[in-house]
Structure 1
């Protein structure tokens, strides 16, 4: 959960050529795909997030990456960046998009932004990387609307009747449909993640799932097959299965539960499994770039994740970790990565690191330096 952390929209001046509880058994995953030159369309099953038409499971280990740096420029990561990501061992990228770059006014589409995105998708595809489109990336203020176009923003109310996610539900469905319409036939798009860390109070999970009903139906009106990810409030809130009575899309096929797992297992927390009485995930956590990790808390990592796994299993949804990470200077950095990755592997869950690079490689989560050289700890991600 990065609720209090604003995205550093990089001073990206890169050139286009640079770049506790009992453990449950992991779900049966079937044969794992070998590397292939061409990408094939994937779909979701109740236990696996990414499967091809032959039933072969594809392991999508990804990094988050920002493909657009300036709404009015086509500068973006070069082919060598995506080739390097693939060569390092990643099989996918989660592309972080900012709605205000694409739809500056209600009536206008910024085709420069769409062109840049198309270039990025094609380069990822050419490298053999699948793409998850983080389509409306909510973060920052007010109430997650830092990158919501001015015309589409809502004014949050003290009583919580209006929250940041209302901007998406009221004004953003057209943007989601436009993206879906453009990419409905692209096999490199493994899934849409329509709303990053939706700003809806953790006590309003039924309303959140009602919102997702509208979001899923809007996308399905343009794209009937590409998988769609659902996230809990702020990416890591506890959602009771009873709230799913509000989730009534026209189709529940090809859906994935996506969690942002920054939990560090703080033993001083009085919260059960890292969630407070309102179901909100513990904060602060390593998503702030400075909070560290004590390896003595390893068992708590599993206890926290199991809450999400149990709920998803009850709803026949596979799980994918859309974000996790820890700041480069934080205590226990390397061990945190090792323990998280070991946990994910034991559960048969794939994941994405936050992030490839920001601020010319100086961002706290960056896997590369300013010259795009991989940092030594990246090998722990595999």
Structure 2
């Protein structure tokens, strides 16, 4: 846990091919100390990587575990710590591996909680002694609220009223985490556990949690893509894309988003942590980013990072040298990628595009330096 006592800065790895040591070394050479690693795009031995089948977990997929260990060895050789971040759990298959359908089963029936706890008990038992592991991020961007009558970015009073109705049920996210953490602690008492806020890890979604979790070795993570209407891929296909800074639709209203609005929005998790008497060293901006081809993207990254740095938070940018989607790969600059990038994806080949530091990457690069 002492690794997290000082601010740690890194990147996200959501690649389709398992990263090698050279990949991790490139991130390390920029000054990163950790990487948030997702494996769900890798070729699985069964239906779902490591899970075997998210429709019914019966044990870790042995060949997949061997592959994951090899990647962890590569990260360790490069000197990077790793936070494991699954995109799927039993009863909650990641939408992109589920024909783009949101899978809500985990939040409807606690039988899936039992399977998820078993999965994490098995995984913690397998990985607890690996020197690269810095934390277990239990699930990426949970959204138990999505189909249960709570609007995204609802007023805090509405969030709390909603949670009072759901508390103790299958959509009780803190209770779900408590259940899974208990299973992990049966086999691993030491490794820190990282938990995302609800509503896709929204920075304002911790606000309805009445208390911090009881485990002392916890990290609380949020993601920052707000205002999503401006920072995301759909904005780039509008006839007139939203600009940053500028007026953007957010929470059903037109708002001006600039450095002050970014800072005000990111005040929410800090306020919650203070109310729970948690040190800021337990807060993590697990993802943040914007479409690199958006003219205001560099300013957006500057504004987000300025706030995160001022608060001394841990952070990991999205994403580092992603080989399946170029939208937030800032080393590519603001130009379109050549056809060779997409041909490699079609053929299942390694990404052939050389990366370099660019103006778009500069807000991140200069802050990764020790």
With normalisation by structure 1, the TM-score equals: 0.68
Which position in structure 2 is the counterpart of 1:379? 362
What secondary structure sits across from 1:258 in the alignment? strand
Which position in structure 2 is the counterpart of 1:13? none
Structure 2, unmatched stretches of 5+, are 41-46, 151-158, 237-241, 247-256, 333-351
Q: How do 1:1-382 residues align onto structure 2 when only pairs under 5 Å count?
A: 42-43=1-2, 50-51=4-5, 57=6, 59-66=7-14, 69=17, 76-98=18-40, 100-105=48-53, 106-137=57-88, 145-146=94-95, 163=107, 169-201=113-145, 203=159, 204-205=162-163, 206=167, 207-233=172-198, 234-236=200-202, 238-239=204-205, 243-244=209-210, 251-264=214-227, 283-288=228-233, 290=236, 292-294=243-245, 297-317=258-278, 318-359=282-323, 362-369=325-332, 370-376=352-358, 377-381=360-364, 382=367
- Whose relative contact order is higher, 1 or 2, with alpha carbons under 8 Å and at least 6 apart? 1
Q: Deviations over 1:244-274 (max 9, x none)?
A: 35x66xx52111110101124xxxxxxxxxx
8 Å Cα contact 2:321/2:329 also seen in 1: yes
Distance of 2:71 and 2:119 partners within structure 1: 19
Q: How many residues align?
A: 292
8 Å Cα contact 2:206/2:269 also seen in 1: no
With normalisation by structure 2, the TM-score equals: 0.70
Change (3 A) 1:111 1:292: farther
Distance of 1:77 and 1:114 partners within structure 2: 15
Distance of 2:58 and 2:93 partners within structure 1: 23
What secondary structure sits across from 1:260 in the alignment? strand
8 Å Cα contact 2:59/2:119 also seen in 1: no
What secondary structure sits across from 1:169 in the alignment? helix
Which position in structure 1 is the counterpart of 2:155? none
- CA apart distance, 1:103: 2.1
Distance of 1:359 and 1:61 partners within structure 2: 21
Change (3 A) 1:103 1:242: closer
- CA apart distance, 1:143: 7.4
Q: Per residue, is there more helix in 1 or in 2?
A: 2
- CA apart distance, 1:94: 0.3
What secondary structure sits across from 1:102 in the alignment? coil
8 Å Cα contact 1:77/1:120 also seen in 2: yes
Q: Deviations over 1:19-67 (max 9, x none)?
A: xxxxxxxxxxxxxxxxxxxxxxx347xxxxx03xxxxx2x321111136
- CA apart distance, 1:155: 5.8
8 Å Cα contact 1:176/1:218 also seen in 2: yes
